[in-house]
Structure 1
């Protein structure tokens, strides 16, 4: 009678699960200026830094005021592809703002998110 040995199958499953862990990770926002929930003085520059390189053609962000209107912003991507910087035509007026970001990481995953900050 032959006995079934599950050890090779368990080993293969463990290797696949371990190897898939890093591949399943997605880019995440790791830093922002102004920071989420911060209160700042008038600013003309915003930056968002992600944990992975982004694809510039599919990455960007909008700044939205309390009335729901987008503020005109010109964005650029850092040389390492991880930081998006936005420059405003003029400093933001006092009030609450929301940053809506969208990125595509180099592995093809698309991510979105948002946060708010206040200008005094």
Structure 2
């Protein structure tokens, strides 16, 4: 019976440490749901813990066409890459896949909008004011919905881990109760 008790304690400690060891995205440039208002040359993703060298990301436009990214590098917990071509204004997605220091693979998506001033050849000065185009409201709503869904997924993962720990604590308490009851006989 003592073996069961010790095995239960070991499981609680093993699973609780494992659950806390997973990494996640800490920040990104561009940020999730942001509107970038200047030319985008470099993408930087920062994670909560060190990530493996095999970690990478891709960029796609609103038509899911790939955008060329050069020089993707990993430095501890930072993943960076350079956008080789000048991007047109529009909606983009960064699809990242990493392996955390704990060996756990993770992936995610960062949506952003590029609304940078277009480069104009200096042929003749512009005499009329340029109309400023506001970002499409449905794109903003879609990005807000994506952020809310990501937050719900993270919360569900945390609730699952807490549930496992609670079940293991209950098993431990029942084992201790059974041992004391058995010893009294």
Tell me whether the two structures share a fold, i.e. TM-score over 0.5. yes
Please report how far the alpha carbon of residue 19 of structure 1 lies from its aligned counterpart in structure 2 after TM superposition: 3.9
TM-score, normalised to structure 2, is 0.54
Runs (4+) off by over 3 Å: 6-12
Residue 28 (structure 2) pairs with residue 67 (structure 1): no
Aligned to 2:73: 76
Q: Which has the higher contact order (CA 8 A, sep 6+)?
A: 1
- Alpha-carbon separation, structure 1, partners of 2:79 and 2:68: 15
Q: Counterparts in 2 of 1:26-65, with a 5 A limit? A: 26-41=22-37, 42-56=39-53, 58-65=54-61
- Alpha-carbon separation, structure 2, partners of 1:18 and 1:10: 13
Unpaired segments of 5 or more residues in structure 1? Answer: 1-5
Q: CA RMSD in A?
A: 1.9
- Alpha-carbon separation, structure 2, partners of 1:33 and 1:21: 32
Please report how far the alpha carbon of residue 15 of structure 1 lies from its aligned counterpart in structure 2 after TM superposition: 5.0
Q: Secondary structure at the match of 1:100?
A: strand
Q: Could you tell me whether the CA contact under 8 Å between 2:44 and 2:79 is conserved in 1?
A: yes
Q: Secondary structure at the match of 2:106?
A: strand
Q: Deviations over 1:66-102 (max 9, x none)?
A: 1111110021112xx2000110113322100001000
TM-score, normalised to structure 1, is 0.81
Residue correspondences, number: 112
Larger strand fraction of residues: 1
Larger helix fraction of residues: 2
Please report how far the alpha carbon of residue 10 of structure 1 lies from its aligned counterpart in structure 2 after TM superposition: 5.2
Q: Secondary structure at the match of 1:16?
A: helix
The structure with the largest alpha-carbon Rg is 2
Aligned to 2:88: 93
